[in-house]
Amino acid sequence: MSNLSEHFSIGEFTCRCGCGFDSISPELITVLEDVRMHFGAPVKINSGCRCEKHNAKVGGVPNSQHVQGIAADIVVSGRTSALVADYLERKYPDRYGVGRYSSFTHIDVRQAKARWRG
C-alpha cells in the first residue's frame, strides 16, 4: 500500500466498491495532515474516492466531490464531529466544503465556500 503522506495511504481513499478508483487530491491530503497534527490523533477515512456507480449506491449526490477525488468523510479519534467541523470552518473560513454529520465530518477542497448539515 503506497503512502500519500506520513499518516495516510492510498488504500484509505480507494473506492470501496473494488473498482480501483483512487485519484485523490494532494491538497486534500495536506488538509487532512493538518487535522491530524492539530488534534494529535488518528484520522479515520470513512469514505474517500467514489466512482459514479458506488456514489449512487451509497446515496451520494450526483455532483459529489468524492467522485472528483477531492473529498473525504472523516472521524478523528476521541473528538466529536462537531469539534472537527468547528476547527475546519475556522481554519478555512472562505473556501472548502465542510459538512456536519452526527457521526463524521465531510471535508472537500473545492475552492468555493460551502457549509451544510446532514
Predicted confidence pLDDT, tens digits, the chain (118 residues): 589 999 999 999 999 999 999 999 999 999 999 999 999 999 999 999 999 999 999 999 999 999 999 999 999 999 999 999 999 999 999 999 999 999 999 999 999 999 999 9
Q: Which three cell numbers stand for residue 33?
A: 495532515
For residue 55, tell me if it sits in a domain: yes
For residue 83, tell me if it sits in a domain: yes
Is the distance from CB of 48 to CB of 14 less than 8 angstroms? yes
Domain extent, residue 38, equals 10-117
For residue 1, tell me if it sits in a domain: no
The model's pTM is 0.95
CATH of residue 59: 3.30.1380.10
State the burial class of residue 22 (Cβ atoms within 10 Å of its Cβ: 0-12, 13-18, 19+): middle
> Per residue, what are the HEC states of 72-112?
EEEEECCCCHHHHHHHHHHHCCCCCEEEECCCCEEEECCCC
Count of domains forming the chain: 1
For residue 4, tell me if it sits in a domain: no
For residue 71, tell me if it sits in a domain: yes
CA nearest 42: which of 11, 84, 7?
7
In the block, cell 471535508 appears at 107
